[in-house]
Protein backbone atom coordinates (compact mmCIF):
# COMPACT_ATOMS: atom_id res chain seq x y z
CA UNK A 1 0.00 0.00 0.00
CA UNK A 2 3.02 2.31 -0.01
CA UNK A 3 2.16 5.64 -1.62
CA UNK A 4 -1.31 4.54 -2.78
CA UNK A 5 -3.11 7.41 -1.07
CA UNK A 6 -2.27 11.05 -0.52
CA UNK A 7 -3.39 13.95 1.59
CA UNK A 8 -4.57 16.80 -0.60
CA UNK A 9 -5.90 19.30 1.90
CA UNK A 10 -5.80 20.20 5.56
CA UNK A 11 -7.26 22.79 7.88
CA UNK A 12 -6.57 24.02 11.38
CA UNK A 13 -8.86 26.62 12.90
CA UNK A 14 -7.60 29.36 15.17
CA UNK A 15 -7.58 28.09 18.75
CA UNK A 16 -9.32 29.69 21.69
CA UNK A 17 -8.65 29.65 25.42
CA UNK A 18 -12.30 30.69 25.84
CA UNK A 19 -11.45 33.88 27.68
CA UNK A 20 -14.34 36.07 28.78
CA UNK A 21 -15.72 38.08 25.88
CA UNK A 22 -14.49 35.70 23.18
CA UNK A 23 -17.22 34.19 21.01
CA UNK A 24 -17.89 30.61 22.11
CA UNK A 25 -18.14 28.24 19.17
CA UNK A 26 -19.52 24.76 19.63
CA UNK A 27 -17.92 21.54 18.43
CA UNK A 28 -20.06 21.38 15.26
CA UNK A 29 -19.00 24.89 14.27
CA UNK A 30 -15.32 24.05 14.75
CA UNK A 31 -15.74 20.88 12.68
CA UNK A 32 -17.36 22.86 9.85
CA UNK A 33 -14.68 25.56 10.06
CA UNK A 34 -11.82 23.05 9.90
CA UNK A 35 -13.53 21.13 7.07
CA UNK A 36 -14.08 24.38 5.18
CA UNK A 37 -10.35 25.21 5.42
CA UNK A 38 -9.38 21.71 4.24
CA UNK A 39 -11.85 21.79 1.34
CA UNK A 40 -10.58 25.21 0.24
CA UNK A 41 -7.00 23.98 0.37
CA UNK A 42 -7.93 20.99 -1.79
CA UNK A 43 -10.17 22.96 -4.15
CA UNK A 44 -13.06 20.64 -3.35
CA UNK A 45 -16.60 21.04 -2.08
CA UNK A 46 -18.52 19.14 0.55
CA UNK A 47 -20.60 17.59 -2.23
CA UNK A 48 -17.50 15.76 -3.45
CA UNK A 49 -17.93 13.53 -0.40
CA UNK A 50 -21.45 12.31 -1.12
CA UNK A 51 -21.06 8.58 -1.64
CA UNK A 52 -17.49 8.77 -0.35
CA UNK A 53 -16.02 8.72 3.18
CA UNK A 54 -16.36 10.90 6.26
CA UNK A 55 -14.19 10.32 9.33
CA UNK A 56 -15.12 11.84 12.67
CA UNK A 57 -12.88 11.88 15.70
CA UNK A 58 -14.12 11.39 19.19
CA UNK A 59 -14.77 14.52 21.24
CA UNK A 60 -15.10 14.83 24.99
CA UNK A 61 -17.61 17.62 24.97
CA UNK A 62 -21.19 16.37 25.14
CA UNK A 63 -22.46 15.17 21.78
CA UNK A 64 -25.30 13.09 20.51
CA UNK A 65 -25.48 9.37 19.81
CA UNK A 66 -24.46 8.18 16.32
CA UNK A 67 -21.95 11.00 16.38
CA UNK A 68 -20.35 10.34 13.00
CA UNK A 69 -23.71 10.13 11.19
CA UNK A 70 -24.97 13.15 13.09
CA UNK A 71 -21.88 15.04 11.92
CA UNK A 72 -22.69 14.05 8.34
CA UNK A 73 -26.18 15.42 8.97
CA UNK A 74 -24.77 18.68 10.36
CA UNK A 75 -22.56 19.07 7.31
CA UNK A 76 -25.18 17.96 4.78
CA UNK A 77 -22.99 15.18 3.40
CA UNK A 78 -24.27 11.68 2.49
CA UNK A 79 -21.20 9.49 2.78
CA UNK A 80 -21.08 5.81 1.88
CA UNK A 81 -18.58 5.11 4.63
CA UNK A 82 -18.34 6.57 8.10
CA UNK A 83 -15.16 6.25 10.13
CA UNK A 84 -15.24 6.97 13.84
CA UNK A 85 -12.11 6.89 15.98
CA UNK A 86 -12.04 6.92 19.75
CA UNK A 87 -8.29 6.41 20.13
CA UNK A 88 -7.63 9.73 21.82
CA UNK A 89 -4.58 11.42 20.34
CA UNK A 90 -4.11 8.55 17.90
CA UNK A 91 -7.53 9.10 16.32
CA UNK A 92 -6.38 11.28 13.42
CA UNK A 93 -3.61 8.85 12.51
CA UNK A 94 -5.81 5.78 12.87
CA UNK A 95 -8.47 7.23 10.57
CA UNK A 96 -5.79 7.88 7.96
CA UNK A 97 -4.88 4.19 8.06
CA UNK A 98 -8.54 3.10 7.93
CA UNK A 99 -9.22 5.52 5.07
CA UNK A 100 -6.19 4.23 3.17
CA UNK A 101 -7.45 0.66 3.54
CA UNK A 102 -10.92 1.65 2.30
CA UNK A 103 -9.42 3.43 -0.70
CA UNK A 104 -7.04 0.52 -1.36
CA UNK A 105 -10.02 -1.86 -1.33
CA UNK A 106 -11.81 0.31 -3.87
CA UNK A 107 -14.75 1.00 -1.59
CA UNK A 108 -14.28 4.77 -1.73
CA UNK A 109 -11.96 7.16 -3.54
CA UNK A 110 -11.67 9.86 -0.91
CA UNK A 111 -12.34 10.60 2.75
CA UNK A 112 -12.82 13.87 4.61
CA UNK A 113 -11.54 13.45 8.18
CA UNK A 114 -12.63 15.96 10.80
CA UNK A 115 -12.07 16.49 14.48
CA UNK A 116 -12.87 19.22 16.94
CA UNK A 117 -13.40 19.59 20.62
CA UNK A 118 -14.27 22.34 23.02
CA UNK A 119 -12.98 21.03 26.35
CA UNK A 120 -13.10 24.53 27.81
CA UNK A 121 -16.87 24.53 27.31
CA UNK A 122 -17.26 21.50 29.59
CA UNK A 123 -18.54 22.53 33.02
CA UNK A 124 -15.63 21.85 35.31
CA UNK A 125 -15.05 21.63 39.02
CA UNK A 126 -11.37 22.30 38.51
CA UNK A 127 -10.89 25.50 36.50
CA UNK A 128 -9.03 24.93 33.24
CA UNK A 129 -9.00 21.19 33.81
CA UNK A 130 -12.22 19.85 32.43
CA UNK A 131 -13.41 16.41 33.36
CA UNK A 132 -15.91 15.04 30.91
CA UNK A 133 -18.61 12.70 32.21
CA UNK A 134 -17.04 9.72 30.49
CA UNK A 135 -13.73 10.34 32.27
CA UNK A 136 -15.42 10.24 35.65
CA UNK A 137 -17.40 7.04 35.46
CA UNK A 138 -16.68 3.38 35.15
CA UNK A 139 -14.08 1.05 36.59
CA UNK A 140 -11.19 2.98 35.08
CA UNK A 141 -12.13 6.16 36.96
CA UNK A 142 -13.26 4.36 40.12
CA UNK A 143 -9.79 2.90 40.59
CA UNK A 144 -8.00 6.20 39.95
CA UNK A 145 -10.01 9.23 41.08
CA UNK A 146 -10.68 7.95 44.61
CA UNK A 147 -7.03 6.80 44.84
CA UNK A 148 -5.76 10.37 44.37
CA UNK A 149 -4.53 10.20 40.78
CA UNK A 150 -4.20 13.80 39.56
CA UNK A 151 -4.78 13.37 35.85
CA UNK A 152 -2.25 12.98 33.06
CA UNK A 153 0.44 15.02 34.81
CA UNK A 154 0.54 12.59 37.72
CA UNK A 155 0.23 9.54 35.46
CA UNK A 156 3.12 10.63 33.25
CA UNK A 157 5.12 11.84 36.25
CA UNK A 158 5.06 8.25 37.53
CA UNK A 159 6.41 7.01 34.21
CA UNK A 160 9.04 9.73 34.14
CA UNK A 161 10.24 9.04 37.69
CA UNK A 162 10.68 5.38 36.83
CA UNK A 163 12.46 6.27 33.59
CA UNK A 164 14.86 8.57 35.46
CA UNK A 165 15.54 5.76 37.91
CA UNK A 166 16.55 3.42 35.10
CA UNK A 167 18.17 5.81 32.63
CA UNK A 168 20.14 9.03 32.52
CA UNK A 169 17.82 11.97 31.90
CA UNK A 170 17.98 15.52 33.16
CA UNK A 171 15.27 18.14 33.51
CA UNK A 172 17.43 20.46 31.42
CA UNK A 173 17.26 18.00 28.51
CA UNK A 174 13.46 17.96 28.67
CA UNK A 175 13.46 21.73 29.08
CA UNK A 176 15.25 22.02 25.76
CA UNK A 177 12.26 20.35 24.08
CA UNK A 178 9.84 22.79 25.72
CA UNK A 179 11.98 25.82 24.85
CA UNK A 180 12.31 24.67 21.24
CA UNK A 181 8.55 24.11 20.93
CA UNK A 182 7.92 27.62 22.20
CA UNK A 183 10.46 29.02 19.72
CA UNK A 184 8.56 27.31 16.89
CA UNK A 185 5.29 28.63 18.29
CA UNK A 186 6.73 32.13 18.08
CA UNK A 187 7.02 31.54 14.33
CA UNK A 188 3.48 30.17 13.99
CA UNK A 189 0.60 32.66 14.13
CA UNK A 190 -1.75 29.75 14.89
CA UNK A 191 -0.05 28.77 18.14
CA UNK A 192 -1.77 29.77 21.37
CA UNK A 193 1.37 30.70 23.40
CA UNK A 194 3.99 32.51 21.33
CA UNK A 195 6.28 34.39 23.72
CA UNK A 196 9.62 32.54 23.90
CA UNK A 197 10.93 31.41 27.28
CA UNK A 198 14.39 30.40 28.42
CA UNK A 199 15.65 27.18 29.95
CA UNK A 200 15.95 29.03 33.27
CA UNK A 201 12.29 30.00 33.08
CA UNK A 202 11.42 26.38 32.37
CA UNK A 203 13.50 25.17 35.32
CA UNK A 204 11.94 27.79 37.60
CA UNK A 205 8.37 27.03 36.58
CA UNK A 206 6.19 25.69 39.36
CA UNK A 207 6.39 21.96 40.13
CA UNK A 208 2.94 20.42 39.65
CA UNK A 209 3.62 16.74 40.16
CA UNK A 210 7.32 15.92 40.57
CA UNK A 211 9.17 15.79 38.25
CA UNK A 212 6.60 17.49 35.97
CA UNK A 213 6.59 21.28 35.95
CA UNK A 214 4.05 23.79 34.70
CA UNK A 215 6.01 24.34 31.47
CA UNK A 216 5.97 20.57 30.85
CA UNK A 217 2.19 20.65 30.47
CA UNK A 218 0.07 21.03 27.41
CA UNK A 219 -2.40 23.95 27.46
CA UNK A 220 -5.98 22.97 26.67
CA UNK A 221 -7.83 24.96 24.00
CA UNK A 222 -10.96 24.83 21.88
CA UNK A 223 -10.41 24.21 18.19
CA UNK A 224 -10.76 21.95 15.19
CA UNK A 225 -8.67 20.31 12.49
CA UNK A 226 -9.38 18.37 9.32
CA UNK A 227 -7.65 16.68 6.40
CA UNK A 228 -8.63 15.12 3.09
CA UNK A 229 -7.15 11.86 1.83
CA UNK A 230 -7.73 10.51 -1.68
CA UNK A 231 -6.45 7.84 -4.03
CA UNK A 232 -3.11 8.73 -5.59
CA UNK A 233 -4.78 9.07 -8.97
CA UNK A 234 -7.33 11.59 -7.73
CA UNK A 235 -4.65 13.41 -5.75
CA UNK A 236 -2.50 13.94 -8.84
CA UNK A 237 -5.52 15.26 -10.75
CA UNK A 238 -6.34 17.98 -8.23
CA UNK A 239 -3.01 19.10 -6.80
CA UNK A 240 0.64 19.31 -7.78
CA UNK A 241 1.56 18.86 -4.12
CA UNK A 242 0.07 15.57 -2.94
CA UNK A 243 1.55 14.24 0.29
CA UNK A 244 1.73 10.47 0.09
CA UNK A 245 1.22 8.04 2.92
CA UNK A 246 4.31 5.89 2.46
CA UNK A 247 4.15 3.81 5.57
CA UNK A 248 2.20 3.22 8.74
CA UNK A 249 2.41 1.11 11.85
CA UNK A 250 -0.03 0.77 14.70
CA UNK A 251 -0.19 -1.00 18.03
CA UNK A 252 -2.85 -0.69 20.70
CA UNK A 253 -2.59 -1.64 24.37
CA UNK A 254 1.09 -2.53 24.10
CA UNK A 255 2.78 -4.18 27.05
CA UNK A 256 6.55 -4.14 27.40
CA UNK A 257 7.13 -7.23 29.48
CA UNK A 258 4.40 -8.97 31.44
CA UNK A 259 0.83 -7.74 31.51
CA UNK A 260 0.66 -7.64 35.29
CA UNK A 261 4.03 -5.95 35.90
CA UNK A 262 5.17 -4.37 32.63
CA UNK A 263 8.17 -2.12 32.09
CA UNK A 264 6.40 1.21 31.60
CA UNK A 265 9.41 3.10 30.25
CA UNK A 266 9.06 1.72 26.72
CA UNK A 267 6.09 2.57 24.49
CA UNK A 268 4.41 0.82 21.57
CA UNK A 269 6.41 2.93 19.14
CA UNK A 270 9.10 0.25 19.37
CA UNK A 271 6.67 -1.88 17.33
CA UNK A 272 4.82 0.64 15.19
CA UNK A 273 7.81 2.71 14.06
CA UNK A 274 9.85 -0.13 12.51
CA UNK A 275 6.65 -1.36 10.84
CA UNK A 276 6.00 2.07 9.31
CA UNK A 277 9.59 2.58 8.20
CA UNK A 278 9.84 -0.86 6.63
CA UNK A 279 6.63 -0.27 4.67
CA UNK A 280 7.87 3.16 3.59
CA UNK A 281 11.28 1.82 2.62
CA UNK A 282 13.10 4.51 4.59
CA UNK A 283 15.77 4.65 7.26
CA UNK A 284 16.18 7.20 10.03
CA UNK A 285 18.69 9.21 8.04
CA UNK A 286 16.09 9.69 5.29
CA UNK A 287 13.61 11.42 7.63
CA UNK A 288 13.80 15.21 7.31
CA UNK A 289 11.68 16.11 10.34
CA UNK A 290 9.85 14.52 13.24
CA UNK A 291 6.40 15.47 14.55
CA UNK A 292 5.83 13.47 17.75
CA UNK A 293 2.72 13.70 19.88
CA UNK A 294 4.20 16.17 22.35
CA UNK A 295 1.75 16.74 25.16
CA UNK A 296 4.73 16.51 27.54
CA UNK A 297 8.44 16.88 26.67
CA UNK A 298 9.08 13.56 28.37
CA UNK A 299 6.61 11.82 26.05
CA UNK A 300 8.28 13.43 23.03
CA UNK A 301 11.69 12.26 24.28
CA UNK A 302 10.49 8.67 24.81
CA UNK A 303 8.98 8.71 21.34
CA UNK A 304 12.31 9.79 19.80
CA UNK A 305 13.93 6.78 21.47
CA UNK A 306 11.25 4.25 20.74
CA UNK A 307 11.10 5.44 17.13
CA UNK A 308 14.72 4.34 17.00
CA UNK A 309 16.47 7.66 16.39
CA UNK A 310 18.77 6.61 19.25
CA UNK A 311 19.18 3.72 21.64
CA UNK A 312 16.86 3.20 24.58
CA UNK A 313 17.99 5.33 27.47
CA UNK A 314 19.87 7.80 25.29
CA UNK A 315 16.96 10.09 24.40
CA UNK A 316 18.03 12.78 26.83
CA UNK A 317 21.52 12.87 25.41
CA UNK A 318 20.12 12.82 21.86
CA UNK A 319 18.04 15.91 22.61
CA UNK A 320 21.04 17.61 24.13
CA UNK A 321 23.27 16.85 21.15
CA UNK A 322 20.86 17.89 18.41
CA UNK A 323 19.37 21.16 17.25
CA UNK A 324 15.61 20.62 17.35
CA UNK A 325 14.71 23.80 15.50
CA UNK A 326 13.21 23.85 12.00
CA UNK A 327 16.62 24.69 10.50
CA UNK A 328 18.56 22.38 12.83
CA UNK A 329 19.82 18.83 12.35
CA UNK A 330 16.70 17.26 13.94
CA UNK A 331 13.67 19.46 13.24
CA UNK A 332 10.91 18.51 15.64
CA UNK A 333 7.45 19.88 16.56
CA UNK A 334 7.99 22.62 14.01
CA UNK A 335 4.56 24.20 14.58
CA UNK A 336 5.19 24.67 18.29
CA UNK A 337 3.66 21.30 18.93
CA UNK A 338 0.83 20.90 21.34
CA UNK A 339 3.07 22.13 24.14
CA UNK A 340 2.93 25.70 22.91
CA UNK A 341 0.38 25.40 20.12
CA UNK A 342 -2.42 24.20 22.38
CA UNK A 343 -4.35 20.95 22.62
CA UNK A 344 -7.99 21.03 21.49
CA UNK A 345 -8.78 18.08 23.72
CA UNK A 346 -6.63 14.97 23.86
CA UNK A 347 -8.20 13.41 20.79
CA UNK A 348 -7.93 16.40 18.48
CA UNK A 349 -4.38 17.31 19.47
CA UNK A 350 -3.45 14.17 17.55
CA UNK A 351 -4.32 15.89 14.26
CA UNK A 352 -1.54 18.40 14.81
CA UNK A 353 1.56 16.27 14.08
CA UNK A 354 -0.11 15.00 10.91
CA UNK A 355 -1.29 18.42 9.72
CA UNK A 356 2.10 20.01 10.42
CA UNK A 357 3.87 17.19 8.57
CA UNK A 358 1.65 17.79 5.53
CA UNK A 359 2.18 21.56 5.81
CA UNK A 360 5.95 21.06 5.77
CA UNK A 361 5.92 18.57 2.90
CA UNK A 362 3.83 20.95 0.80
CA UNK A 363 6.33 23.71 1.51
CA UNK A 364 3.63 25.83 3.16
CA UNK A 365 5.19 26.36 6.58
CA UNK A 366 6.37 29.92 5.90
CA UNK A 367 9.16 31.19 8.17
CA UNK A 368 9.38 27.82 9.96
CA UNK A 369 9.74 25.83 6.73
CA UNK A 370 12.17 22.90 6.88
CA UNK A 371 14.39 23.13 3.78
CA UNK A 372 14.18 20.30 1.28
CA UNK A 373 11.55 18.47 3.28
CA UNK A 374 10.68 15.35 1.30
CA UNK A 375 10.08 12.70 3.96
CA UNK A 376 8.66 13.26 7.40
CA UNK A 377 7.54 11.18 10.36
CA UNK A 378 4.42 11.93 12.42
CA UNK A 379 2.92 10.19 15.42
CA UNK A 380 -0.40 9.49 17.03
CA UNK A 381 -0.40 8.73 20.74
CA UNK A 382 -3.69 8.19 22.44
CA UNK A 383 -5.11 7.42 25.82
CA UNK A 384 -3.47 6.65 29.13
CA UNK A 385 -3.93 3.10 30.34
CA UNK A 386 -3.89 2.20 34.02
CA UNK A 387 -0.35 2.63 35.31
CA UNK A 388 1.24 2.80 31.85
CA UNK A 389 1.98 5.57 29.34
CA UNK A 390 0.02 5.18 26.06
CA UNK A 391 -2.89 3.09 24.81
CA UNK A 392 -2.42 3.64 21.07
CA UNK A 393 0.93 4.28 19.36
CA UNK A 394 0.75 5.02 15.64
CA UNK A 395 3.71 5.84 13.40
CA UNK A 396 3.29 7.47 10.00
CA UNK A 397 5.83 8.10 7.26
CA UNK A 398 4.74 10.73 4.73
CA UNK A 399 6.51 11.89 1.61
CA UNK A 400 6.34 14.09 -1.44
CA UNK A 401 6.88 11.04 -3.68
CA UNK A 402 4.87 7.80 -3.54
CA UNK B 1 -20.75 11.08 36.56
CA UNK B 2 -19.09 11.24 39.91
CA UNK B 3 -19.98 14.19 42.11
CA UNK B 4 -16.69 16.03 42.38
CA UNK B 5 -17.93 19.07 44.19
CA UNK B 6 -17.32 19.14 47.93
CA UNK B 7 -15.75 15.82 48.78
CA UNK B 8 -13.20 13.41 47.42
CA UNK B 9 -14.63 11.16 44.74
CA UNK B 10 -16.38 7.95 45.72
CA UNK B 11 -16.55 4.91 43.46
CA UNK B 12 -19.75 3.76 41.84
CA UNK B 13 -19.88 0.33 43.42
CA UNK B 14 -21.00 -2.48 41.12
CA UNK B 15 -21.31 -6.22 41.58
CA UNK B 16 -17.98 -6.59 39.78
CA UNK B 17 -16.10 -4.30 42.15
CA UNK B 18 -18.02 -4.62 45.43
CA UNK B 19 -15.79 -7.35 46.92
CA UNK B 20 -12.77 -5.07 46.67
CA UNK B 21 -14.45 -2.10 48.39
CA UNK B 22 -16.13 -4.22 51.06
CA UNK B 23 -12.91 -6.02 51.92
CA UNK B 24 -11.01 -2.73 52.11
CA UNK B 25 -13.72 -1.42 54.42
CA UNK B 26 -12.97 -4.44 56.62
CA UNK B 27 -9.22 -3.93 56.51
CA UNK B 28 -8.42 -6.59 53.94
CA UNK B 29 -6.82 -6.39 50.50
CA UNK B 30 -8.41 -8.71 47.95
CA UNK B 31 -7.67 -9.00 44.26
CA UNK B 32 -9.04 -11.12 41.45
CA UNK B 33 -6.91 -14.23 41.13
CA UNK B 34 -7.14 -16.29 37.98
CA UNK B 35 -8.07 -19.88 38.78
CA UNK B 36 -6.39 -21.13 35.61
CA UNK B 37 -3.04 -19.32 35.51
CA UNK B 38 -2.84 -17.82 39.03
CA UNK B 39 -2.31 -14.26 37.79
CA UNK B 40 -3.54 -11.50 40.10
CA UNK B 41 -5.51 -8.95 38.07
CA UNK B 42 -5.89 -5.30 38.99
CA UNK B 43 -7.89 -3.12 38.54
CA UNK B 44 -10.90 -5.47 38.32
CA UNK B 45 -11.22 -7.12 34.92
CA UNK B 46 -13.97 -9.10 33.17
CA UNK B 47 -11.49 -11.91 32.53
CA UNK B 48 -7.85 -12.66 33.21
CA UNK B 49 -5.75 -10.34 31.05
CA UNK B 50 -3.01 -12.96 30.96
CA UNK B 51 -4.91 -16.07 29.82
CA UNK B 52 -8.51 -14.98 29.13
CA UNK B 53 -10.13 -17.17 31.75
CA UNK B 54 -13.33 -15.80 33.27
CA UNK B 55 -12.68 -17.87 36.40
CA UNK B 56 -11.49 -14.98 38.55
CA UNK B 57 -11.84 -15.36 42.28
CA UNK B 58 -11.45 -12.61 44.84
CA UNK B 59 -8.44 -13.69 46.90
CA UNK B 60 -6.58 -12.18 49.82
CA UNK B 61 -3.28 -10.67 48.72
CA UNK B 62 -0.23 -10.12 50.91
CA UNK B 63 -0.62 -6.60 52.31
CA UNK B 64 2.87 -5.50 51.39
CA UNK B 65 4.80 -4.33 48.40
CA UNK B 66 7.53 -2.17 46.91
CA UNK B 67 7.42 1.31 45.41
CA UNK B 68 7.82 0.92 41.63
CA UNK B 69 7.54 4.66 40.98
CA UNK B 70 6.33 7.81 42.68
CA UNK B 71 5.25 11.38 42.15
CA UNK B 72 4.51 14.16 44.58
CA UNK B 73 1.38 15.98 43.46
CA UNK B 74 1.43 19.59 44.60
CA UNK B 75 -1.77 20.80 43.00
CA UNK B 76 -5.16 19.29 42.23
CA UNK B 77 -5.62 18.35 38.60
CA UNK B 78 -8.48 16.45 36.98
CA UNK B 79 -9.80 15.43 40.35
CA UNK B 80 -11.87 16.87 43.15
CA UNK B 81 -10.73 20.15 44.75
CA UNK B 82 -11.30 18.36 48.06
CA UNK B 83 -7.86 16.79 47.61
CA UNK B 84 -6.25 20.20 48.08
CA UNK B 85 -6.12 19.74 51.86
CA UNK B 86 -3.80 16.72 51.40
CA UNK B 87 -1.22 18.41 49.20
CA UNK B 88 1.57 17.59 48.77
CA UNK B 89 0.29 14.08 48.10
CA UNK B 90 2.62 11.17 47.46
CA UNK B 91 1.15 8.95 44.75
CA UNK B 92 2.95 5.76 43.87
CA UNK B 93 2.75 2.75 41.65
CA UNK B 94 3.09 -0.10 44.11
CA UNK B 95 4.19 -3.58 43.10
CA UNK B 96 2.46 -5.89 45.53
CA UNK B 97 4.42 -8.89 46.69
CA UNK B 98 1.78 -11.07 45.04
CA UNK B 99 2.56 -9.60 41.63
CA UNK B 100 -0.01 -6.91 40.86
CA UNK B 101 0.60 -3.20 40.43
CA UNK B 102 -1.68 -0.46 41.66
CA UNK B 103 -1.88 3.26 42.19
CA UNK B 104 -1.60 4.00 45.88
CA UNK B 105 -1.13 6.98 48.11
CA UNK B 106 1.78 6.68 50.54
CA UNK B 107 1.17 8.32 53.90
CA UNK B 108 3.41 8.72 56.92
CA UNK B 109 6.34 9.62 54.70
CA UNK B 110 7.85 13.02 53.98
CA UNK B 111 7.80 14.00 50.32
CA UNK B 112 11.58 14.17 50.22
CA UNK B 113 11.95 10.66 51.64
CA UNK B 114 9.93 8.65 49.14
CA UNK B 115 12.10 6.34 47.02
CA UNK B 116 11.78 3.69 44.36
CA UNK B 117 12.36 0.34 45.99
CA UNK B 118 10.97 1.45 49.36
CA UNK B 119 9.12 -1.35 51.14
CA UNK B 120 5.56 -0.44 52.07
CA UNK B 121 2.68 -1.98 53.99
CA UNK B 122 -1.01 -1.54 53.31
CA UNK B 123 -3.37 0.32 55.59
CA UNK B 124 -6.96 1.26 54.92
CA UNK B 125 -9.07 4.38 55.07
CA UNK B 126 -12.84 4.38 55.34
CA UNK B 127 -14.27 6.49 52.55
CA UNK B 128 -17.98 5.68 52.86
CA UNK B 129 -20.44 3.38 54.59
CA UNK B 130 -19.72 0.79 51.93
CA UNK B 131 -16.12 1.28 50.93
CA UNK B 132 -12.61 1.54 52.17
CA UNK B 133 -9.51 2.28 50.16
CA UNK B 134 -6.01 0.85 50.48
CA UNK B 135 -3.17 3.24 51.15
CA UNK B 136 0.43 2.50 52.00
CA UNK B 137 3.02 3.55 54.53
CA UNK B 138 6.74 2.78 54.84
CA UNK B 139 7.25 -0.73 56.20
CA UNK B 140 8.34 -1.01 59.80
CA UNK B 141 10.83 -3.76 59.02
CA UNK B 142 13.75 -2.99 56.70
CA UNK B 143 13.64 -4.63 53.30
CA UNK B 144 15.08 -8.10 53.07
CA UNK B 145 14.78 -8.28 49.31
CA UNK B 146 14.24 -5.78 46.53
A&B contacts, CB < 8 Å: 158
* pLDDT at A343 > cutoff 50: yes
**Structural domain span for residue A357:** 152-218+246-399
Whether residues A233 and A343 share a domain: the answer is no
Contacts of residue A212, defined as CB under 8 A and 6 or more positions apart, other chains included, come to A153, A156, A157, A160, A296, A298, B71
Mean pLDDT of A32-57: 98
Interface of B with A in 77-136 (CB under 8 A): 77-81, 83, 86, 89, 91-93, 95, 99-105, 111, 116, 127, 133
Of A139, A150, A151, the CB nearest to B17: A139
Chain A contact set for B101 (CB, 8 A): 260-261, 387
The number of domains in chain A is: 2
A272 found inside a domain: yes
Phi, psi of A5 (to 5 degrees): -125, 160
The per-residue pLDDT for B3 is 56
pLDDT, tens digit (0-9, with 9 covering 90-100), for B80-131? 889 999 999 999 999 999 999 999 999 999 999 999 999 999 999 999 999 9
Domain boundary among A181, A207, A238: A238
Average pLDDT, chain A: 96
Contacts of residue B140, defined as CB under 8 A and 6 or more positions apart, other chains included, come to B121
Query: Each residue of A158-187: b (16+ CB within 10 Å) or e?
Result: bbbbbbbeebebebebbbbbbbbbbbbbbb
Whether residues A175 and A120 share a domain: the answer is no
* pLDDT at B146 > cutoff 50: no
Question: For every residue of chain A, which 3-state class applies, written as one string?
Answer: CCCCEEEEEEEECCCECCCCCCCCCCHHHHHHHHHHHHHHHHCCCHHHHCCCEEEEECCCCCCCCCHHHHHHHHHCCCCCEEEEECCHHHHHHHHHHHHHHHHHCCCCCEEEEEEEECHHHCCCCCCCCCCCHHHHCCHHHHCCHHHCCCHHHHHHHHHHHHHHHHCCCCHHHHHHHHHHHHHHHHCCCCCCCCCCCCHHHHHHCCEEECCEEHHHCCCECEEEEEEEEEEHHHHHHHCCCCEEEEEEEEEECCCCECCCCECCCCCCHHHHHHHHHHHHCCCHHHCCEEECCCCCHHHHHHHHHHCCCCCCCCHHHHHHHCCCCCCCCCCECCCCHHHHHCECHHHHHCHHHHHHHHHHHCCCCHHHCCCCCCEEEEEEEECCCCCCCCCEEEEEEEECCC
The per-residue pLDDT for A122 is 83
The per-residue pLDDT for A298 is 98
pLDDT, tens digit (0-9, with 9 covering 90-100), for A100-158? 999 999 999 999 999 999 998 887 766 556 678 778 888 899 999 999 999 999 999 99
Chain A contact set for B83 (CB, 8 A): 148, 150
Percentage of residues in chain A having pLDDT higher than 70: 99
Task: Calculate how close chain B gets to A261, using CA atoms only, in Å.
Answer: 6
Residue A380's pLDDT band, with cuts at 50, 70 and 90, is very high
For an interface test with A, give the residue of B73, B96, B107 to mutate (most A CBs within 10 A): B73
* Closest-approach residue (CA) in chain A for B132: A146
Whether residues A212 and A175 share a domain: the answer is yes
CATH number at residue A352: 3.40.47.10
Mean pLDDT of A85-90: 96
The per-residue pLDDT for A341 is 97
* pLDDT at A327 > cutoff 50: yes
A142 found inside a domain: no
The per-residue pLDDT for A123 is 76
A43 found inside a domain: yes
Tell me which residue of A44, A25, A393, A367 sits closest to A188, measured CA to CA.
A367
Whether B49 has its CB under 8 Å from any CB of chain A: the answer is yes
A133 found inside a domain: no
pLDDT, tens digit (0-9, with 9 covering 90-100), for A159-199? 999 999 999 999 999 999 999 999 999 999 999 999 999 99
Q: Do A137 and B12 touch (CB under 8 A)?
A: yes
The per-residue pLDDT for B142 is 58
A15 found inside a domain: yes
Whether residues A202 and A167 share a domain: the answer is yes
Whether residues A281 and A357 share a domain: the answer is yes
A183 found inside a domain: yes
Whether residues A231 and A281 share a domain: the answer is no
A105 found inside a domain: yes
Question: Cis bond leading into B43, ω under 30°?
Answer: yes
Whether residues A253 and A365 share a domain: the answer is yes
Specify the DSSP class assigned to residue B52.
-
Mean pLDDT of A21-41: 96
Whether residues A81 and A173 share a domain: the answer is no
Whether residues A171 and A227 share a domain: the answer is no
As a 3-state breakdown, chain B gives helix, strand, coil percent values, each rounded to 5, of: 10, 35, 55
Whether residues A192 and A269 share a domain: the answer is yes
Whether residues A309 and A254 share a domain: the answer is yes
Q: Do A145 and B100 touch (CB under 8 A)?
A: no
A120 found inside a domain: yes
pLDDT, tens digit (0-9, with 9 covering 90-100), for A225-282? 999 999 999 999 999 999 999 999 999 999 999 999 999 999 999 999 999 999 999 9
pLDDT, tens digit (0-9, with 9 covering 90-100), for B47-75? 999 999 999 999 999 999 999 999 999 99
Whether residues A321 and A339 share a domain: the answer is yes
Domain boundary among A186, A206, A238: A238
Query: How far apart, in whole angstroms, are the C-alpha atoms of residue A376 and residue A397?
Result: 6
* pLDDT at A378 > cutoff 60: yes
Percentage of residues in chain A having pLDDT higher than 90: 92
Amino acid sequence: MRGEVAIVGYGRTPYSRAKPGEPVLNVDEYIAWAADLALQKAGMSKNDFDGQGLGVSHAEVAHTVNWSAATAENLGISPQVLLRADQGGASAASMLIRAAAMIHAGIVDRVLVVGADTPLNIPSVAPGLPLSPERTRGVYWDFQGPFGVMGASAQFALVQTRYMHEHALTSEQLGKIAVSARYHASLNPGAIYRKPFTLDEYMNSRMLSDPIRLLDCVPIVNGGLAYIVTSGKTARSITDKPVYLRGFGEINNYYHGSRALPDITTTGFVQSAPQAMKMAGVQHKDINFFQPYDDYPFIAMMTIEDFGFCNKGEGGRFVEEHDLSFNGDFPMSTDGGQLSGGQPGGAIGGFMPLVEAVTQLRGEAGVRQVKNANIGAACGFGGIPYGRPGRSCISLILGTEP
Amino acid sequence: MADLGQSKPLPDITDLTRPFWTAAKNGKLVLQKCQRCATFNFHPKPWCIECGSRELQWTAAKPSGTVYSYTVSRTVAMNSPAWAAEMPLILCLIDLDDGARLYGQVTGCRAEDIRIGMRVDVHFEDISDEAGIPKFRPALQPATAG
